Amino acid sequence: MIDTIGTDIPEGEERLRLDVEDGLGVLTLCRPRKLNAWSWESTRQLGLFADRIRFDGSIRAVLLRAEGRAFCAGIDVTAPGGAITGRSGAERTHHYYEGLRWAHERFRAFARLPQPVVAAVQGYCLGFGFELALMADVRIAADDAVFALPEAGLGVAVDAG
């Protein structure tokens, strides 16, 4: 299960990186070998960085970008922490709901930053990656950017962006 309370990012577990220079916060998705696929840990780190950005008076604007050939290929279905546990169907449903609520609190913290956020999108921007880009105030797409919501074809709600 993911640590929902800790504020540390263990070395080697970085999903995002924040660099600040001359009033610009550059938030970088940094898992290029996984096409920056999103996980529960990515969500936790997004919330941590959203809080840091919000309360850092030196950051006047944010650039959201990604390393590698994809902005974000969507949810990492192989990532740990995604199993829904519980002794009964009702308990599993409750845990699923609480997990989504926890994640959405972090998404809202990022989407509601007082600083303007610009997403620079290259390559695949799929599923949750598309929703993450939609959380930005402005999106700039490279010539090779591909936007899609494949989960909609499966009847799964698009609910983060």
Q: Give the Cα separation of 69 and 123 in Å (integer).
A: 6
Can you tell me which residue has the tokens 């850092």?
56
Q: Is 13 a catalytic residue?
A: no
Q: Give the Cα separation of 92 and 24 in Å (integer).
A: 42
Active-site entry in 41, 98, 105, 131: 131
Q: Give the Cα separation of 48 and 65 in Å (integer).
A: 17
Q: Is 131 a catalytic residue?
A: yes
Rg of the chain over Cα atoms, rounded to whole angstroms, equals 16
Active-site entry in 13, 21, 105, 151: 151
Q: Give the Cα separation of 148 and 106 in Å (integer).
A: 23
Query: Catalytic residues, which ones?
Result: 131, 151
